[in-house]
Structure 1
Amino acid sequence: MTDATTGAPSTGDRPFLRNLITVMAFILVTGFIVQLAMGRSSFNAPLIVHAHAAVFMGWVGIVLTQAWLAGAGSMRLHQQVGKLAAIWALGLLVFGTWITIAAVQTGRTPFFFQPQHFIVANPLSLFAAVGLLAAAVTMRHRPDWHARLQVSSFVLLMGPGFGRLLPMPILPPYAFEIAGLVALVFPLAGIIYDWRAHGRPHPAWFWGIGVLLAVIVVARLAGFSPVGEAVYDAVVAGTPFAATSGLDFPPPPGPPPV
């Protein structure tokens, strides 16, 4: 099959895309391992935290599996796992939004995020990631678009991974934006690869970059608008945080238990 955009065999891109996703998955997993090793995460967390972790780590496993199946040319099995991925993506939306609401309602918003911004930005990133995934599925008969949109979707989920590796406490009030922008290294790597391999970058990378930048801008504008305030007030209504401003940074946690 020939790539209709670049005129190059689409199968030749699979090793690069597989390796790119492998690096992304490694960074995500490493971020959570570092948190656990430093005592910032605990197995004593509420059940919703563990359910959220299982769903999202499961997604990392699915994306990684898909990349390696495609890289090995096992396209029939790749398609079968893709059916599971389509269903699993709904779990990302449900548990990702649920954990965000629960964090704000219980005062567990990371202290370098303002809750009113966090309650808008986090779900917006998830819906954008699933939107790019849906676009990739729609373009599944165009391997060049399909694979790059899949990577771009994964890029939208890299913020939490980088957020556990970057010095987030010194990055407010733009911690969310910085963690997201660092993830641009992956589509930029894709652009450089395409330029060298095919003579020009594939337009799918620019769609992915555009969606990520749109999420950052819209989250900032909406999160600090009356809309963001209304969303925050509705989420914390009836909780001990109903009287607190969603624009106040939460206090940093105390020292980890000895």
Structure 2
Amino acid sequence: MVAAAEMRAGARGEWTFFATMSLVVAGVIAAGFGPSYVRSSAGSGLPWWVHLHGAVMTAWIALFAVQAALVRRRALPIHRALGIASVALVAAMVPLGIATNLLAIRRGATPPFFTPAEMFAADTIDLLLFAGLFAWALVLRHRREWHKRLLLCATVLLAWPAIGRLPPVRWGGIELVIPISSALLIGLALVGPLHDLLTRRRVHPAYLWGVGLIVLAQPLHALVARSDLATRVVERVSA
């Protein structure tokens, strides 16, 4: 009985960690995008699709936190129902995110640390990777240890654009924003494996895949940004 109670307490603590990580990601996104969002909304205003994109992304972060809390409280039927609903949310997030990226390039709203091609490549790759990790987690939904870790990696991935907009990241100069952002994103992704080491004495294979893919995506951003495909897309969108 004592062992069973300890296992239940450990499971609740683990889901508390996942909920906390969702709040950390939400804080990074709010700190990165919040100031410019407020300034733009108070000034000339933002296109409706920017507000929609922000609302959908915020909904995902909130859903991830709620799902972790539901499992902690053992409200599994509600957790499963929201999991099914999340498929529709992700199906909207990815095309809406890519469209928002392209429309921002068309408006000349590329951040100063990005070229339009870099912005297109990074956001598109990360959104597709996010969708891939989500789909993988969905397939493995009955293997909880894989499921929740893959979803955490997918959620952490969404923080990358916001990290580059944090004021301290820019202190090293515009040319260092992308490498610093990538390093900080990888550091944030490594919190999960570190938590495993501290609580389980080993890293779950889901993190080896999830964090590994996040690491591999960083040089892929630059490779795709220099490709003919990225050049043609930016030229067509900007025309």
* TM class, shorter-length: 0.7 to 0.9
- CA-CA distance at 1:168 after TM superposition: 5.0
| Distance of 2:169 and 2:27 partners within structure 1 | 20
Instruction: Check whether the contact 1:125–1:156 (CA below 8 A) recurs between aligned residues.
Output: yes
| Distance of 1:42 and 1:67 partners within structure 2 | 35
**Structure 1 range deviating more: 175-184 or 96-105:** 175-184
Instruction: Check whether the contact 1:125–1:157 (CA below 8 A) recurs between aligned residues.
Output: yes
> 1:234 corresponds to which residue?
236
Give the % identical residues: 27
1:218 corresponds to which of 202, 217, 220: 220
CA separation of 1:106/1:34 partners in 2, compared to 1, >3 Å: closer, same or farther? closer
| Distance of 2:46 and 2:146 partners within structure 1 | 40
Q: What's the TM-score, normalizing by structure 2? A: 0.86
- CA-CA distance at 1:215 after TM superposition: 1.6
- CA-CA distance at 1:233 after TM superposition: 2.0
Unaligned runs of 5+ in 1: 1-7, 240-258
- CA-CA distance at 1:162 after TM superposition: 1.8
> 2:46 corresponds to which residue?
45
Q: What's the TM-score, normalizing by structure 1? A: 0.80
| Distance of 1:167 and 1:112 partners within structure 2 | 14
> 1:164 corresponds to which residue?
165
> 1:11 corresponds to which residue?
11
- Aligned partner letter, 1:189: V
> 2:115 corresponds to which residue?
114
> 1:179 corresponds to which residue?
181
> 1:25 corresponds to which residue?
26
| Distance of 2:33 and 2:162 partners within structure 1 | 7
CA separation of 1:92/1:235 partners in 2, compared to 1, >3 Å: closer, same or farther? same
Instruction: Check whether the contact 1:155–1:184 (CA below 8 A) recurs between aligned residues.
Output: no
Instruction: Check whether the contact 1:180–1:212 (CA below 8 A) recurs between aligned residues.
Output: no
> 1:242 corresponds to which residue?
none
> 2:143 corresponds to which residue?
142
1:146-179 deviations in whole A, cap 9, x for unaligned? 0110100011101123233244555433533432
2:199 corresponds to which of 189, 192, 197: 197
| Distance of 1:166 and 1:24 partners within structure 2 | 16
1:122-141 equivalences in 2 (<5 Å):
122-141=123-142
CA separation of 1:191/1:168 partners in 2, compared to 1, >3 Å: closer, same or farther? closer
> 1:70 corresponds to which residue?
71
> 2:3 corresponds to which residue?
none
Instruction: Check whether the contact 1:59–1:88 (CA below 8 A) recurs between aligned residues.
Output: yes
**In angstroms, what is the RMSD of aligned CA positions?**
2.2
| Distance of 1:115 and 1:145 partners within structure 2 | 36
| Distance of 1:26 and 1:90 partners within structure 2 | 24
Is the helix fraction higher in 1 or 2? 2
- CA-CA distance at 1:40 after TM superposition: 5.5
- Aligned partner letter, 2:201: G
Aligned length: 229
SS of residue paired to 1:113: coil
